[in-house]
Structure 1
Amino acid sequence: MARELQKLNAATVKAANLEPEQNQARLADGGGLYLLLKRTKEGIGKYWRFDFKHQNKSDTLYIGTYPELSLKEARERHLAARALLDQNISPTAQKRRDKHKLSSDNTFEAVAREWWEKEQHSWKSEKHKQGVLRSLELNIFPYMGDRPIHEIST
């Protein structure tokens, strides 16, 4: 007979703690979703995880940390990951693709053009507006326009 799993609730998640001799523990919510409790230098870390199999390989999706991500939000992300599995798509591979796409969408050129669109209305001269854009296009975009914005620092 299969054992019955009691789903987590917000109070259980908030009060979750480790025994003094434990370094980590799992609180299961069902369907592969669980809260990992882990001892850290700052105290007890709480991390949402989803264990699954895709193409006969075990994998873990790192969903987020508690309390930044509530139980309800973790369940929503878990359901979204399950929907991907139903389409034979690995949730971890999809997360990597999404992250790469986000970083490539936020290139220096994209952000600079957005800035120019917002600022051009405050410049009085049409010549100045076009000069700023032309300077960016000739002197900066060819060298660093395609770099992700998060890689650029002062």
Structure 2
Amino acid sequence: MAKIIKPLTEIQIKNAKTKEKTYTLGDGGGMYLEINSNGGKWWRYRYELNGKTKKVSLGVYPATTLADARKKRDAARSILANEDRDPFLKIVTPINPQVVQKTFKEWAEWYIEEISNELSDSHVTRTLKTFRKDVYPFIGNMPINDIKTKDIINIMHIMKNRNATESARKTFSAISRVFAKAISNFPDDIERNPTVDISLRDVIGKKQTKNYPIITDPKELGILLKNIQDYTGDVSTRLALTMLAHVFTRPSNVRLAEWSEVDLVAKQWVIPAQKMKPNKELIVPLSKQIIELLEVAKQYSYDSELIFPSNRSRRSPMSDNAMVGA
């Protein structure tokens, strides 16, 4: 005897809580509500045609109500029973797609919630601030699938015109990550990532690099060390700057330094030849102060192979901008 599925109610749907894994609530007739582990609720419909089982999306809840989803399901069942053809060749596209589609702002806020457990609070806050200032005013209320390449380029031009090219690069990256993460999780609902067709270098120009003169005056060196000591920003950045001031290597050597290169017992840091411009291994002696500094740095690098990992990802090194901007 076939299992009888009791139809869903609005109260059940609203009270459906997010769980560690995606789960479903059946409504009968092949339709069910899929509750994603990230909190999204999506209407799905499973049906058979020519001996093959197919599954389609009927929309996202609450933009697509329970009643709306049932109408789509019932229409599909009628076509399957009477016409023996795929019903979704006609009705997969809603009459008013803007009612169903989430806006970029809604997807961006979903993205921020997703990364909040992976990245530092400061990074999440910066990303949200960037969206509110430079993105939402232009594409925030647009359905995500209506956003074109030209809309992203327009944002980049506006930021470039106010001499905020470095911020524009970060903003572009954040927009791209929203699309990429949304597509990876919901490929049926996001058509494409419009940022992939954009050459950012052609839009806002080549990234400018700036060289800084070496400090030879002992007084200036003392001022630099005091400024580093008084730095109140990210702890890892302060530690990296302090180490740089003591070991006299290139900043990139410090940023890319790995724990496997350091011998705290022998009090030395062996930089591999492939990381050196002369392509020759360099042995850097470590003072007592740097040994103590590295012991502190270990607490902030957690399980990373890098001594100074990025706040965004423990697998990536601290950025050059993090040190220069401090």
Same-fold status (TM-score > 0.5):
yes
Q: Could you say which residue in structure 2 is the equivalent of 1:32?
A: 30
Contact 2:24 2:34 in 1 (8 A): yes
Q: How does 1:114-125 map to 2 (within 5 A)?
A: none
User: Pick from 66, 71, 85: which aligns with 2:66?
Assistant: 71
Tell me the TM-score normalized by structure 1: 0.56
SS at match of 1:12: helix
Question: How many Å separate the matches in 1 of 2:50 and 2:3?
Answer: 27
User: Pick from 42, 47, 50: which aligns with 2:42?
Assistant: 47
Query: Gaps spanning 5+ residues in structure 1: where?
Result: 100-148
Contact 2:30 2:45 in 1 (8 A): yes
Q: 1:45-83: per-residue Cα shift (whole Å, max 9, x none)?
A: 000010000111110121000000111111011111112
Contact 2:31 2:46 in 1 (8 A): yes
1:62 aligns with 2:57: yes
Question: How many Å separate the matches in 1 of 2:147 and 2:42?
Answer: 25
Q: 1:1-50: per-residue Cα shift (whole Å, max 9, x none)?
A: 4333211011101111133xx3200100001000001022xxx0000010
Question: How many Å separate the matches in 2 of 1:152 and 1:18?
Answer: 34
Q: Over aligned residues, Cα RMSD in angstroms?
A: 2.6
Contact 1:60 1:92 in 2 (8 A): no
Question: How many Å separate the matches in 1 of 2:149 and 2:79?
Answer: 33
Query: Gaps spanning 5+ residues in structure 2: where?
Result: 95-145, 152-326
Q: Could you say which residue in structure 1 is the equivalent of 2:9?
A: 9
Question: How many Å separate the matches in 1 of 2:45 and 2:23?
Answer: 14
SS at match of 1:65: strand
Question: How many Å separate the matches in 2 of 1:5 and 1:13?
Answer: 15
Q: How does 1:123-142 map to 2 (within 5 A)?
A: none
Alignment-mate amino acid for residue 27 of structure 1: L
Identity %: 28
Runs (4+) off by over 6 Å? 149-152
Question: How many Å separate the matches in 2 of 1:45 and 1:151?
Answer: 24
Tell me the TM-score normalized by structure 2: 0.28
SS at match of 1:82: helix
